[in-house]
Structure 1
Amino acid sequence: MSVEISSKLVKQLREKTGAGMMNCKKALQETSCDFDKAIEILRQKGLASADKKSDRQATEGIIHSYIHTGGKIGVLVEVNCETDFVARREEFIDLVKDIAMQIAACPLVHYISIDKIPNSIIQSEERIESGKDDLKNKPQEIKEKILKGRVEKILKTQTLLDQPFIRNSSITINELVKEKISLLGENIKIARFTRFEIGK
C-alpha cells in the first residue's frame, strides 16, 4: 500500500535539498514520510551522480569578488562549470557567493583541497608531529597511524573543500558543491581563490 505524500512535504524537501519534485516524492515514499531519512537518501543519490560528473571538463563559470562588511577582508574566487547557461543560473551564482563568504570567514584556509598542498608543507607538518613527546615511546605501527591522523586533521583546517559550510555546518563545502552538481547536472570546480586582509 503506497503512502499518501502531501505536496507541501514534497515542496519542503525540494527546498531543503534542491532535488527534483519526483525524486523528493519517491524518497518520501521509500522512507514512509521520514523527512530526515529522505534527505539522507537524496544526498546519497545526489552525491553519487555528482561523482560521475567530476571528470568532465569545466571551462565556463564566473569570477566573483566579495568585500566583507567594514572593508577589512576581500575575496576573489573563480568557480567553473561546463556551460555558460549554468554559469548564469541563480543557483550557480548563489553557490559562488556562498563560497566567497566561506573563504572570507576562514583565515586558515590557503588551498582548495589536500592534493593541492605542496609536499614541503606536508613534510613539515609530519616532522613537527612526529617529534612530539607523546609519540616517542609508541610502537612504530601505532605511531604511524596516529601521525597520519594528526597530519590529515591539520591539513584539513587549511583546505576549503573540507570546511564545514558556514550556513549549514552539517555539510562540508565539498558536499555543498556536489549537491549543486546534482541539481544543475554539470561538473562544478573551484578553480582558484585569493583572500585579502588589511595589514596581512
Structure 2
Amino acid sequence: MQKKISTENIKELRSKTGAGITDCKKALEASNGRIDIAIENLRKKGLALANKKLDRLAVEGLVESYIHSGSRIGVLVELNCETDFVARQSQFQQLAKDIAMQIAACHSVQYVSRDNIPDQVKQYEEAIELNKEDLSSKPLDIRSKIAKGRLDKRLKELCLIDQNFIKQNEITIDELVKQHIALLGENIKIRRFERFILGEGLQTKNNNFKNEVNNMITHQ
C-alpha cells in the first residue's frame, strides 16, 4: 500500500534539495514516502539534467570575493551563468560565496579542474611519484600502477571541483555546481579564481636580496 504524501513531507524534501514542488511530490510517491531515497533520486535526476547543459555558453555571472577572518587570506572567483537574470538570483550568489570560501579553506587547490592543469605540471608530479624511494625496489609494472594511483590522488588535491564541499561533506564542488544547474536551469561554470595570502612570496624576495648583497660584498 502506497504511503500518503503529506504537504509537510513535500516541504521537508524541498528544503533539503531545492527542487520544485511537483518534482518533490513525484519523488516521494516513487519512493513511497522515503525522504532519503527521494533525495537520492532527485540528485541523480538533477545531475542528469545538469550534464545536458554543460556545453551551453555561459558568459554572464559575477565576480565574488571572500576575506577570511583576520584579513590574512582573500579570494576572488569568477562564476559564470547564461543570463543576467540567473546571476541576480540569491541561490547563484550564495553559490559564488560558498565557492570563494571553499577556495580560501583549501590551500592545496591551484586549478579549477584537471583540464586546467598544464601538461608539464602533470609530468612533473608523475616523475616525483615514480621516483619515490619506497617504490625503487618494486617491479616496473607495480611501481607504475602505484604511482598512477598516487598521481590521481595528487591531481585531485590540486583541483577545486574535486574537493568535498566544506558545508556538505558528502558532495563535491562539482556536484554542488551541477545541483545549481538543475535548480536554476542554466549552465554554470567556475571560470577562474585567485587566492591572496598576506606576505606570500616576500620571504623569497628578501632571501634573493640578501644573496645579491652577499655576492656584491664577496666580489669587492
Once the two structures are superposed, the pairs formed by residues 91-110 of structure 1 within 5 Å of their partners are 91-110=91-110
Give me the whole-angstrom Cα distance separating, in 1, the residues matched to 2:94 and 2:181. Answer: 13
1:142–1:37 Cα change, 3 Å? farther
Give the percent of matched residue pairs that are identical in Structure 1 and Structure 2.
58
Query: What's the C-alpha RMSD, in Å, of the aligned pairs?
Result: 1.2
Specify the code of the residue in structure 2 equivalent to 1:122.
K
The question of 1:9 aligning with 2:6 is answered no
Q: What letter matches 1:189 in structure 2? A: K
1:12, distance to aligned residue in structure 2 (A): 1.1
Relative to structure 1, is the Cα distance of residues 139 and 29 closer, same or farther in structure 2, using a 3 angstrom cutoff? farther
Q: Secondary structure at the match of 2:158?
A: coil
SS in 2 for 1:78: strand
Please list every run of 5 or more consecutive structure 1 residues that lacks an aligned counterpart in the other structure: none
Q: Distance in 2 between matches of 1:145 and 1:34?
A: 42
CA distance in 2, matches of 1:44, 1:94: 22
Q: Which one is further off, 11-20 or 141-150?
A: 141-150
**Deviation string for 1:92-114 (max 9, x for gaps)?**
00100100111111111110001
* SS of residue in 1 equivalent to 2:147: helix
Distance 1:139 1:17 in 2: 49
**Uncovered stretches (5+) of structure 2, i.e. residues with no partner:** 201-220
* 1:158 alignment counterpart: 158
Q: Secondary structure at the match of 2:94?
A: helix
Comparing 83-92 with 31-40, greater Cα deviation is found at 31-40
Q: TM-score, with normalisation over the residues of structure 2?
A: 0.87
Q: Which has the higher contact order (CA 8 A, sep 6+)?
A: 1
In 1, Cα distance between equivalents of 2:195 and 2:104: 7
Question: Considering only CA atoms, is the larger Rg found in Structure 1 or Structure 2?
Answer: 2
Correspondences of 1:120-139 after superposition (within 5 Å): 120-139=120-139
Query: Per-residue deviation at 1:72?
Result: 0.8
* TM-score, structure 1 as length reference: 0.96
1:66-99 CA-partner distances (Å, limit 9, x unpaired): 1111111111110000000000001100100100
| Residue 178 of structure 2 is aligned to residue 186 of structure 1 | no
